[in-house]
Structure 1
Amino acid sequence: MRVLVIGAGGREHALCAAIARSPLLTRLWCAPGNPGTASVAENVAIAADDVASLVGFAQREAVDLVVPGPEASLVAGIADALAEAGIACCGPTRAAARLEASKSFTKTLCDEAGIPTALWERFDEAAPAHDFISRRGAPIVVKADGLAAGKGVVVAATEAEAHAAIDRLIGQGPVVIEECLHGEEASVFVLCDGGNAVLLGAAQDHKRAFDGDRGPNTGGMGAYTPAPALTSPLLEETMDRIVRPTLAAMAARGTPFRGILFAGLMLTDAGPHLIEYNVRFGDPECQAILLRLRSDLLPALLAVPDGALDAFDLRWSDDASICIVLAADGYPDAPRTGSVIRGLDRASAIPGVTIYHAGTVHGADGDLHAAGGRVLNVCATGATLRAARDAAYAAVDAIDWPGGFCRRDIGWRALG
């Protein structure tokens, strides 16, 4: 089977590594890829949102399945364009990708389908949004309605923070203002074929840049799975009250959802509430989850466009898994790139450790250099989460990279 993975981050490195283990695979490409994906796939110099070039490549190379990683290609309509070319894609159409591309679309769907979520309002202009904040007070949540690379959400503890968030976000488009739900956050990942849903796992991540959940929001500084807060009864409640009603509502609209659905949840006293949907694997949650997979991932991904997930039951390791993100100094506001990274072989030799590349490049000198904000994902598995975390941080300490940093408290919710 000939497969093309789209993307260039740690998530795509993890996807490529999992797909590369399949005995069904005959050839694997990653566009554009990174030095890590190059170890398990052939990198192709095509941007993730260059739909026309990606489709053309897939046609020329007789690709059997395309697996998009980032949301940009999905929202740009890669699945639609591939369908027109007769090529299978494990990802939603542009219409179905609105679950991530428009928070107000998802909120409206939740209200219509009776899916538990926070009370909300959408605003197209700043003045009425400011008036709403003045009337409602804080704490309150302000979100960009559209895509914002994981950085378009402000949980405002004060009215001043909420007003500042409106001023910053309204220039990008409409904003959604929500009540502030209280509880523990968690994420559930589900493989969907339009009607059937197969649970991929649950995880908890860490969005803030620094220890103690301080600093600015980021794309994610680490994650672990399984998530102890999401017990089996809560997972089943999430599937029954949130995921399955969503799939039914999307199918009723004529836009069935096929792909990986990422439900961001707040575990409130009244049960799980949907915070938001993403229409692809989370990053870095994907890296942690796929390390626990014991089944062949490729047939399951192919079953998505085929509508055949009712026959699948994936097997998972009982081990815990963790992912620590190493970011360039200055991230997320102004990451400083170009610094040299050494010691990855030494770190990878630690039992249970796997390292994924997220933002690296080989320089003219042959050395590995930082080339982004989030640069490396240091992951580990273990019989317990504490064992996995100890191994991951031992690997972090084995890496020689003065120009980077990481959080030292990933997993604190589960470990105390």
Structure 2
Amino acid sequence: MKTLILGSGGREGALVRALSVTTARSDLFAAPGNPGMRDVATLIDLDPLDADAVAAWCGEHDIDLCVIGPEAPLVAGVADTVRAAGIACFGPSRAAARLEASKAFAKDVMESAGVATAACLVCRSEDEVAAALDRFGAPYVVKDDGLAAGKGVVVTEDRDGALAHGRACVAGDGQVVVEEFLDGPEVSLFCLCDGHTVVPLSPAQDFKRVFDGQRGPNTGGMGAYAPLSWIDADLVDRVVAEVAEPVVAEMARRGTPFTGLLYCGLALTSRGVRVVEFNVRFGDPETQVVLPLEGERVGELLWRAATGTLADAPARGDNTPGAAVTVVITNEGYPGPLTRPGEVIGGLDEAAQVEGVYVIHAGTAERDGEIIATGGRVLNIVATGDTLEQARERAYRAVAAIDVPGSHYRGDIARVQAEA
């Protein structure tokens, strides 16, 4: 199967690696990709946001499946154009992608579908934000209604800080969602959907705060691990039945069937499971630890989701790792403005020699034959093992081999279980 992956970050790197297990390099393409994908895929100079160019390239090169990684092309309607050209596409339509593009829309869908989530108010002025903050109280939760690359949410005890974030979001006729704080650990569950059937993958836990011990601002994710031994055995089945399937049915009822990946961000609160947010694509960095646990069936799952045949999806094979851990190495200054972009990365070969480890590039480029750090999240060090403890030890042994001047990483990924 000839496959094109759109995107250039760690999530797309994880998808390319997973597909490379069953797809030859000559049949696997990434646009625009990054240097870490070059060994297993052919990199294409193609703008993922240019829907017409993507569809035309797929047609000219007999692509069987187009997989859209980032949220921006989905919200822009690239999947619609690709499908209209007769090419199977993994990713929701522009209309269905509103589940991520607008938190207010997602709340409306959840209410109609009877899905449990945090109580909220949609605010369009500073006065409305202030009133909502007073209604729900601290800790204050303020969410930019639109796309914000994982950095649009403020959770704080500081009312002035919460109000300032809300004020910035409503400026220029924008809107913001203020909601009640959800206690309890958070869990990420990826659900593959073909418009009617839902197939869940292994649940994972992401570490959002930039510093150890859940300190500092939210980021796009500093690391993750899977599986989660501490959750209830029936949690996945309950989330599929009570969250994913009702939402998929509601989207179909509205005439905007959902196909692709429904990311369910969940809080396991004292009052039960609540939805924190939906995304409409694979999460980063959870994808890096979930896909290795799926073995060789990843390509077929994506194909079946894109072609409406998930009911016939293969079961997970026996020859898969017991656990996976990823640690994110970030550039100095992240998640704020970067202070040292362009530093040369050392130790990549040494890290990859650790058993069970591979390195996925997230924010890198090539300059004069050397790999340099260009993005906020630079590298994902992924380790698999028979146990979580083994995978974690391998991951940090490989992290120690990497040299990115001024870089930072958390030292407690997969150690502070159920508190990330």
TM superposition score category, shorter chain reference: over 0.9
Q: Which runs of 5+ in 2 are unaligned?
A: none
Distance 2:397 2:322 in 1: 18
Distance 2:321 2:379 in 1: 25
Q: Which residue of 2 aligns with 1:405?
A: 408
Distance 2:238 2:278 in 1: 17
Q: Which residue of 2 aligns with 1:363?
A: 367
Alignment RMSD: 1.6
Runs of 4+ aligned residues of structure 1 deviating over 6 Å after TM superposition are none
CA drift at 1:239: 1.1
The alignment of Structure 1 onto Structure 2 pairs a total of residues equal to: 415
Q: Which runs of 5+ in 1 are unaligned?
A: none
Q: Which residue of 2 aligns with 1:337?
A: 341
CA contact (8 A) 2:289 2:324 kept: yes
TM-score, with structure 1 as normaliser: 0.96
CA contact (8 A) 1:90 1:258 kept: yes
CA drift at 1:229: 3.7
Distance 1:148 1:166 in 2: 14
- Secondary structure of the structure 2 residue equivalent to 1:198: strand
1:328 aligns with 2:331: yes
1:230-277 CA deviation, whole Å, 9 max, x = no partner? 332111111111111111111111111100110000001222110110
TM-score, with structure 2 as normaliser: 0.95
1:320-342 CA deviation, whole Å, 9 max, x = no partner? 10010001111111122110111
Q: Which residue of 2 aligns with 1:59?
A: 59
1:377 aligns with 2:387: no
Distance 2:205 2:63 in 1: 34
Q: Which residue of 2 aligns with 1:237?
A: 238
CA drift at 1:38: 1.2
Q: Which residue of 2 aligns with 1:353?
A: 357
Which one is further off, 203-212 or 24-33? 24-33
1:187-206 CA deviation, whole Å, 9 max, x = no partner? 10011111101111110011
Q: 1:132 to 1:23 in 2, by over 3 A?
A: closer
Amino acid in the other structure paired with 2:30: C
Distance 2:343 2:243 in 1: 44
Amino acid in the other structure paired with 2:356: G
Distance 1:312 1:22 in 2: 16
1:386 aligns with 2:389: yes
1:9-54 CA deviation, whole Å, 9 max, x = no partner? 1111111111122158861110110001111111112222222221
1:120 aligns with 2:100: no
1:4 aligns with 2:4: yes
Q: Which residue of 1 aligns with 2:196?
A: 195
Q: Matches of residues 14-413 of structure 1 in structure 2 within 5 Å? A: 14-22=14-22, 27-171=27-171, 173-315=174-316, 317=320, 319-335=322-338, 336-364=340-368, 366-413=369-416
- Secondary structure of the structure 2 residue equivalent to 1:341: coil
CA contact (8 A) 1:361 1:371 kept: yes
1:86-136 CA deviation, whole Å, 9 max, x = no partner? 111011001111110111111011111110001011012222222332344
Amino acid in the other structure paired with 1:341: I
1:157-206 CA deviation, whole Å, 9 max, x = no partner? 23223212212322372101111111111110011111101111110011
Distance 2:78 2:53 in 1: 10
